[in-house]
Amino acid sequence: MKKNINVDVVVIGGGPSGYSSAFRCADLGLSVVIIEKYGVLGGTCLNVGCIPSKSLLHLATLIKETKSFLQYDIELLNVNKINMNNIMKWKNDIIISLSNGLNYLAKKRNVDIIHGVASFIDINTVEVVCKDIHYIIYFNYAILAVGSKPVQIPNIPYGDARIWSSTHALNSINIPKRLLIIGAGIIGLEMATIYSALGSQIDIIDNSLEFFPGIDSDIRDIFIKYTKKDFMINMNTIINKIESLENGIMVTLQNNNKTTDKILYDNILIATGRIPNIDSINLQDINIKLNEFGFINVDLQLRTNISHIFAVGDVVGKPMLAHKGIYEAHIAAEVIAGKDHYFDPKVIPCVAYCDPEIAWTGILSKKAKELKIPCRIISIPWNFSGRAISSNCAAFGMTKLLIHEENKKIIGGIIIGRHAGELITQISLAIEMSCDIEDVALTIYPHPTLSESINIAAQVFNKTATDILNI
């Protein structure tokens, strides 16, 4: 059966940037259809990424916190008794609940969802085949929000079910005794945090020379020191050979000293990054321009080279973050509705939701040095903080602010420690608002809180702190 649809806006992809753009378009009075190949909204983030990983990371943190009290002879629960079936049911119930919420919001906004894969016929028409229905959708505007997919690296026997992507890792009911993670980025570190708490012995390898090169070296040192009891991070290391054996996967590793090790693993998790998910939508036939890395080129209003076709989210490149995609989605929808808006944030915060969390925003030390920005860096260790000490997280916490020496504006910040991802927003807001450091120093923060570390860092800059020595 063939069905023709005329609509103001077709959104291809139902992830955070896709449904956000669709919902914003609907709120602005436009008719909208979402085409989603999996038939459920939320994309990678909700279904196989951010939400399930944060659920399991929360559980991992609880397990580690509970075990940490044993050093004080306080036994809370038997955390060694882990039922993975129950854990996966709990995690899946969270996904279902949030998915149902998105479907409710779509219905209330009269946004239709078509299950299928979109393919461009021309610059104003897409087709979708869904079971017995062949949709031809005529649109005035299109928003491409097709997201990304994991990179596949050569010489990996992907046919072996013991070779995991992050999706497999988030859905496994088995806890490997020994797990190799390839990639020391955010995904690899989060998966290491989860599985080390569940009881796996973890090795992380990465062929890069430097661990987390973009963040400050002292923060990296704190993280490595705190996590070395949970997993090993081996940089400048490559795989020479992988053998699928009956009792495991034999991996031959070569490190920077050219020495090799042969280690038997139960599973291997590939966490080496993501690439744009554009293979199936026929972009080449409408001459959408890509950049040198294969991402879709857009301007500051998220327009592609075809003025009525927009692109948002992972498909337009780094940083590949849901919150960045959602922000872009709002801009694209508003431009389509006639508003003169642009994607021009001063900062985009980043968070590694491992344990301890690392969150950063704005210009950090290395970049400030490269740009020759005259700045002063204030570092506040959490061992001063009553809240951190009473929450058993003082040993590995630190808050850093970078302040421009001349205009006294905050230009960046980085936090390591519990709830760093929640705290970093205050620094991002201060940068977006062009706050003087004195504005933060003179703001009354609740006591005792972890957020006080930001307030006291500002006070130290002004030499008005009393909870720590002014430097």
- Residue 155 is assigned to a structural domain of this protein: no
Q: 139 and 7, same structural domain?
A: yes
Whether 156 has a pLDDT exceeding 80, the answer reads yes
Flag whether 188 is marked binding.
Answer: yes
CA separation, residue 170 to residues 8, 12, 51, 87, 158 (Å): 37, 25, 10, 11, 17
Of the three residues 336, 371, 387, the one that is the final residue of a domain is: 336
190 is in an annotated binding site: yes
Same domain (yes/no): 265, 279 = no
The answer to the question of residue 280 being in a domain is yes
Work out the pLDDT band at 471, boundaries 50, 70, 90.
Answer: confident
Q: Are residues 293 and 210 in the same domain?
A: no
Do 207 and 80 share a domain, yes or no? Answer: no
The CATH number linked to 412 is: 3.30.390.30
Domain encompassing residue 99 = 2-149+275-336
Q: Is 267 in the same domain as 359?
A: no
308 assigned ligand-binding residue: no
Query: Are residue 255 and residue 185 in the same domain, yes or no?
Result: yes
Phi and psi angles of residue 450, each rounded to the nearest 5 degrees, phi first? -70, -30
- Same-domain pairing of 10 and 139: yes
State the average pLDDT over residues 192-213: 94
CA distance 14 to 86: 28
147 has binding-site annotation: no
Residue with tokens 């609940």: 97
pLDDT at 333: 98
How many structural domains are present in the chain? Answer: 3
Answer yes or no: is 248 within a domain: yes
Three-state secondary structure of the chain: CEEEEEEEEEEECCCHHHHHHHHHHHHCCCCEEEEECCCCCCHHHHHHCHHHHHHHHHHHHHHHHHHHHHHHCCCCCCCCCCCHHHHHHHHHHHHHHHHHHHHHHHHHCCCEEEECCEEEEECCEEEEEECCEEEEEEEEEEEECCCEEECCCCCCCCCCCCEECHHHHCCCCCCCCEEEEECCCHHHHHHHHHHHHHCCEEEEECCCCCCCCCCCHHHHHHHHHHHCCCEEEECCCEEEEEEEECCEEEEEEECCCCCEEEEEECEEEECCCEEECCCCCCHHHHCCCECCCCCECCCCCCECCCCCEEECHHHHCCCCCHHHHHHHHHHHHHHHCCCCCCCCCCCCCEEECCCCCEEEEECCHHHHHHCCCCEEEEEEEHHHCHHHHHCCCCCCCEEEEEEECCCCEEEEEEEECCCHHHHHHHHHHHHHCCCEHHHHHCCCCCCCCCCHHHHHHHHHHHCCCCCCCCC
What mean pLDDT do residues 321-349 have? 97
Query: Which of these three, 285, 306, 336, is where a domain ends?
Result: 336
What average pLDDT does the chain have?
A: 93
**3 annotated as ligand-binding:** no
Residue 31 lies in a domain: yes
For residues 266 and 182, state if they share a domain.
Answer: yes
Alpha-carbon span 354 to 417, nearest angstrom:
9
pLDDT grade for 317, boundaries at 50, 70 and 90: very high
The answer to whether 186 is a known ligand-binding residue is yes
Measured CA distances, 242 to 10, 66, 156, 176, 272 (Å): 44, 37, 7, 17, 17
CATH of the domain at 230: 3.50.50.60
Q: Judge whether 93 lies within some domain.
A: yes
Whether 249 and 398 share a structural domain:
no
- pLDDT, mean of residues 334-355: 96
185 carries a ligand binding annotation: yes
What is the C-alpha separation between 389 and 395, in angstroms, rounded?
Answer: 8
Residue 271 — very low, low, confident or very high, per pLDDT cuts 50/70/90? very high
Binding residue per annotation — 281? no
The answer to whether residue 154 sits within a structural domain is no
Above 90 in pLDDT, residue 50? no
Point out the domain boundary residue: 229, 246, 272. Answer: 272
Look at residue 345 and tell me if it is in a domain.
Answer: no
404-447 pLDDT, tens digit per residue, is 999 999 999 999 999 999 999 999 999 999 999 999 999 999 99
Contacts of 428 (CB under 8 A, 6+ apart): 347, 349, 361, 362
Q: 454 in a domain, yes or no?
A: yes
133 appears as a binding residue in the annotation = no
Q: Same domain, yes or no, for 18 and 127? A: yes
Looking at the structure, tell me whether residues 167 and 62 fall in a common domain: no
Active site residues: 447
pTM value surpassing 0.85: yes
Q: For position 155, what pLDDT does the model report?
A: 83
Residues 139 and 281 in one domain: yes
60-111: pLDDT as tens digits: 988 888 888 888 888 777 766 788 999 999 999 999 999 999 999 999 999 9
pLDDT for res 79: 65
State mean pLDDT over 253-262: 83
The mean per-residue pLDDT over the stretch 136-157 comes to 92
| pLDDT band for position 129 (cuts 50, 70, 90) | confident
pLDDT at position 68 is 83
For the stretch 376-391, pLDDT in tens is: 999 999 999 999 999 9
